[in-house]
Structure formats: structure tokens, C-alpha cells
Chain A
Amino acid sequence: MREIFLNSMGGYGAYVWSAYALGFLILGLQVIGLKHQASSLRKKLSQWFKN
């Protein structure tokens, strides 16, 4: 598996896949953060209206 990962992409596999993995990780974390913030804001808002 490691060999396939490293030898793919004409020997540049380690660089290309790492770049895409990093890209997906950063964008994915950002989307998760956004969803999390949205739900906590909704809770905060409904709490504020109850009080």
C-alpha cells in the first residue's frame, strides 16, 4: 500500500496525495467548524428568547 502511494503519480505520489489530503482536511475542518458554530448559535439564541 505504501509502495503504491509513493510510486504513483510518476514518483511524486507522496507530494500530490499529501497536498490533496491537507486540502480536504483544512476545508473539511472549516465546514465542520461552521456547522458546529451554527448549531451552538441557534441554541444560544433560543435560550436567550426563553429568558
Chain B
Amino acid sequence: MWKFLYQLASPRSFFHLSQKVSPYLGYLALTCLSLSFIWGVFWAPADYQQGDAFRIIYLHVPAAFMSLALYTGMAFAALLFLVWNFKLAGFCLKFTAELGATMSLLALLTGSIWGKPMWGAWWVWDARLTSELILFFIYLSLLTLSFVCKEGEKNDRLLAILTLIGFIDLPIIHYSVYWWNTLHQGATLSFFSKPKIALPMLYPLLLSLLGFMFYSLWFVLAKVSHNLLWRERKQGWVKNLMEQR
């Protein structure tokens, strides 16, 4: 794994790898997301309590999951940058935060639309909802910081430190439904226990999760590789690349 990470740390290898992998990720994301939405909206059976309103799950849960997963990835990248000085990891933070903010916004909005028919309110100051809202604000503050400060290693270092501080919100989001009495239901899927959802409803959800993961990888790789060319424009390999095009 370390050998692979060291290879990735070189901007040139990262760029070439992302150019090779990106199209496949994009097509995989499109296929998985289209299939899961069609399956979930038209074929999956209705829930016995929530009826067809539960179908929002195929958008809400993957978006919420990705908002947490992307932040975990950012914290790992921040550690790589601060401890092992992987400069590329620091450079990725800003672009991952952009996608993370979108995912948490999508989770909050779809959750709100789902909450109205089920709870009778667009918003409640429930622990899960509030901690997810805080995550959205953390993403926004990281983005604001990256836009306000000048590009460079100093800015990346500050961003990495703040990312690690913000990581404290993640266990709060995850355990909020166990620590407090919340309107929000507990986890439907867990790595260590049987799923609390019927299999015909579960399969499209897993497919949607996979689609969101492919989409996120595609987005971050594309975003980073485009901006990497600009940052590395004084290097010979970028000049050669531009001449070839």
C-alpha cells in the first residue's frame, strides 16, 4: 500500500493514472446510479409503514454516507500531508471538501423532503440532523478558507489542521441516534449485523451506494487532475503534454 501511495504522490503519475481510470469511473457511476434509481423507484416494493415515501432512501442514504466517507478520506489525506508530507494529499483537500459539501447538502435537503410527510415538519432540531448540519458548515468553512487564502503549501497545512479538528463531528453524527432520543431512525445498514431492510429494497440501495462512490471518485480525480496541470505548469512534463495536444 505504501509503495502505491508513494507512486501516487508524484503529480505526474497521479495525473496519468487519473486520466486512465476516470472514464471508467464515470461510466460505472452513470450505470449504477441509473439502474439503482429505476430499480428503487419503480420495482422495489413499498414500505409497510412509510409506503412509497421511503423511496427517497435511494438518494438520501448514499448522499449522507458519502458526506461522512469523504470527510474520513479528507482526514486520512490531512494525516498523510501533515505527518508524511504527501503534498498531493494536501492539494486534494479543497476539491474533496467541495464534493463533501454537495453531498451533505443533498442529504439535508432530501432528508427534509422525506421528513415532512413522515414527521410533519421540514426540520426538527434532532441530534442527527443538527450534527449533519454542523458537518455541512464545517465543509463550508473549509471551502471558504481555501478560497480566501492564497494557493500554496501554507494554506494546505492550515486546511489539513482544520480538517482534523472537524473530524470530531463524525462520531457524533454516527452515534447521535444511540446517545440521544432522536426522531431519526437508527442505522439501517451495519458492517457487523444483519441489515434491517428487506432484500428487495436492499439491493438497489447497495447499487446506489456503489454509484455514489464511483461518482465521488470520478469527480475528485477529475477535479484534482485538472487543477494539478495548472499548479505544475512550470514543470517539463506539463509542457510536453500540452505540446502533444
**A contacts, CB < 8 Å to B:** 9-13, 15-16, 18-20, 22-23, 26-27, 30-31, 34, 37-38, 41-42, 44-46, 48-49
Which of A11, A19, A31, A34 has the most chain B CB atoms inside 10 A of its CB? A19
Mark B residues whose CB is within 8 Å of A: 37, 41, 46, 51-53, 55-56, 59-60, 63, 99, 102, 105-106, 109-110, 113-114, 116-117, 215, 219, 222-223, 226-227, 229-230, 233, 238-239, 242
| Bound: A10/B48 CA distance, A | 12
Q: A19's contact among B105, B110, B223, by CB below 8 Å, is which?
A: B110
Q: Please determine whether B53 and A12 come into contact, CB atoms closer than 8 angstroms.
A: yes
**Minimum CB distance partner of A22 in chain B:** B109
How distant is A40 from chain B, measured CB to nearest CB, in Å?
10
Which 7 A-B pairs give the minimum distances between C-beta atoms? A9-B52, A12-B53, A10-B51, A10-B52, A19-B113, A19-B56, A23-B59
Cα A11 to Cα B55 in complex, Å, equals 13
Determine whether the beta carbon of A34 is less than 8 Å from that of B52.
no
